[in-house]
Structure 1
């Protein structure tokens, strides 16, 4: 939003010469009667007065406690988002040019300004600063976007899947603002015997360390599957990897893992403290049985993870997700979406005939609508399907 002509100006004037300070104040009040001017006679005094209310700083670079561009650098360091106009005398106008190169929005020669010119220069400086900040944010956003794409190519998994009868869709979104990765992870690997192994996991906590640990656990899981380790022994080994890699005994990871049989008509399910997957069939949508299950990885030294068998039939869809999808709020109260709410949303989407990417995108969008905004936690979704269940 630009600065309107009627918007009240709030300025900090840094000037030790009483005559020059009086002149600037009088010139401003002639053309800007409602201007608020705070006067500082030294740099140290000015730095104490700088706050978010100040829209522009008018600073003389020759002060009792600072000289030249060092004065400007300290002002810019203290208030990087505030417009700065440098005041110079006739004999040191060249200093103003150097000040602009160092980060000031403009410079004015004291003896050559009138009220209208001074007011216009201040307003232009404020607008220029805002435009510069907008451009900086845009450039930074583009850089983050490019880095996101690069990291997704390098760190998010490409499924090892050769069975053309299976469809694989996934969504991944870190919860931290401007984050590149979160602590959630997923992967899919088809092994030589025709089995398809699927995993989704959620590292406790939020931050770069958790994101790094999630990547390491995902890569360890893939390596173990390709080495022939599956089922309970795989989770036992992954639990050991977590214990060696984590930086605190309080860190744990929930995991849900599926092994889909070579004939694609059944699956073995392992859950380590993780939410239950949803099963899509022609008859509707249901959450798989709550049993069996085991503790999250990293919680118990001798944890065990029994499996459950899931009959799939000819056409089916299996959706795994992390709790970032279900921990958003519903409305203005403290009620959360939870798995029951997600199940209702999935049943409604299934009734509309949504499938694949449209299904996942629709569930995220609806969860965010109910939450009143973007979901705060990391989230990952993986949908593996076979045949038409609509």
Structure 2
């Protein structure tokens, strides 16, 4: 009946009905009695017996669901035994064995983190089986509650940080609609390497940017925030166009931790008449323009290299006539790198996005509904949530709002 068992979060949450136990007991007679008692009610059980704390700590590998521990061992005693076991296996249920004269120690052990205690002289097979099962279920419930509390705390903290790190647009023109969506690709991440911003300056020009730092992780997210703040500062100082991008390229080269790090970026300057637009692209996907006549991607011929690749170059400008009613959508490649939903395994890419956008335009989607609809349909075709960082920025005017 002896077997090597395992300890860890995986063991606690296993659905297998077989019990996998570690008994820490230096008395061979008591260990034999324990095995006999548990086999009365649990014939399908695996037990590892350790006679010292050191031997027990070496036996704690993933899979053990419950540790039953005597607090009087040759190499440790009292609550110190329990503390070391709990430290070594924080996700596993722990049941403490005591003698008649040490029942108060069992109460203290529960206060220190054990799920329950048993007095050796009062134990029979059914009671032992119920106590072990109860300890496992209680530990599972405690772990679920801990994760729930952690998620709530993380959610509140993320909300506070997002208010400080995600941009609040500086936009004074009530005729312009502004909508954005942002979602990091990493689980539980607050920010990804994507960024966006919108700033209206004194002459009425509205500047906007969207960018994507290569890679995924906290470092990329931090660099994205720094680039966005540098961009906003440069715009408010009166810079625009290729000179601004050269300065931002210099900032990137000084702030990055590796020469392999680059950033794709698209920025625009919406003229005060709101009928014309200047666009600069640095290796970034083409924006979409929605008008009453339909949807199209902005021309591809005006595009320079991503920031961080070829310092000192100029980025060409594209001039776009908007008309009276329009929506301009900028996005990062997280929106188009999911699967297209076809059996050929192709990516959505620009052609697929144009197809989705045309359908949304036909439905009359506007503003937030347009962005949410495009993300939802891209995820449906992908067969799962989009795994990459994702940012969308939409400016609208007239009947396209």
Q: TM-score, normalised by structure 1?
A: 0.95
4+ long deviations beyond 6 Å: 2-6
Match of residue 267, structure 2, among 257, 267, 284? 257
Aligned to 2:322: 312
**In structure 2, what is the Cα distance between the partners aligned to 1:127 and 1:290?**
60
Cα pair distance change 1:270/1:106, threshold 3 Å: same
Per-residue CA deviation, residues 42-64 of structure 1 (Å, 9 max, x unaligned), is: 22322233233211111112222
**In structure 2, what is the Cα distance between the partners aligned to 1:169 and 1:4?**
45
**In structure 1, what is the Cα distance between the partners aligned to 2:329 and 2:15?**
56
Match of residue 122, structure 1, among 116, 132, 136? 132
Instruction: Verify the 8 A CA contact 2:193 2:217 in the aligned structure 1.
Output: yes
Shift of 1:340: 1.5
DSSP-derived class of the 1:150 partner: helix
Instruction: Verify the 8 A CA contact 1:292 1:307 in the aligned structure 2.
Output: yes
Match of residue 370, structure 2, among 359, 368, 371? 359
Instruction: Verify the 8 A CA contact 1:3 1:127 in the aligned structure 2.
Output: no
Aligned residues: 389
Instruction: Verify the 8 A CA contact 2:68 2:95 in the aligned structure 1.
Output: yes
Match of residue 385, structure 2, among 349, 370, 374? 374
Unpaired segments of 5 or more residues in structure 2?
1-11
Instruction: Verify the 8 A CA contact 2:179 2:394 in the aligned structure 1.
Output: yes
Aligned to 1:266: 276
Match of residue 150, structure 1, among 139, 160, 176? 160
Q: TM-score, normalised by structure 2?
A: 0.93
Instruction: Verify the 8 A CA contact 1:3 1:123 in the aligned structure 2.
Output: no
Q: Which moved more, 1:66-75 or 1:107-116?
A: 66-75
Aligned to 1:348: 359
Per-residue CA deviation, residues 320-349 of structure 1 (Å, 9 max, x unaligned), is: 011111112234764221121111111111
Q: Which moved more, 1:218-227 or 1:48-57?
A: 48-57
Match of residue 100, structure 2, among 49, 70, 90? 90
**In structure 2, what is the Cα distance between the partners aligned to 1:135 and 1:11?**
24
Instruction: Verify the 8 A CA contact 2:95 2:116 in the aligned structure 1.
Output: yes
Instruction: Verify the 8 A CA contact 1:84 1:125 in the aligned structure 2.
Output: yes
Unpaired segments of 5 or more residues in structure 1?
none
Instruction: Verify the 8 A CA contact 1:242 1:297 in the aligned structure 2.
Output: yes
Shift of 1:76: 1.9
Aligned to 1:35: 45
**In structure 2, what is the Cα distance between the partners aligned to 1:3 and 1:303?**
57
Aligned to 1:230: 240
**In structure 2, what is the Cα distance between the partners aligned to 1:75 and 1:4?**
20
**In structure 1, what is the Cα distance between the partners aligned to 2:72 and 2:179?**
64
Aligned to 1:389: 400
Q: Which moved more, 1:297-306 or 1:309-318?
A: 297-306
Shift of 1:103: 1.5
Match of residue 243, structure 1, among 250, 253, 278? 253
Q: How large is the Cα RMSD of the aligned pairs?
A: 1.8
Q: Which moved more, 1:310-319 or 1:245-254?
A: 245-254
Aligned to 1:8: 18
**In structure 2, what is the Cα distance between the partners aligned to 1:3 and 1:379?**
33
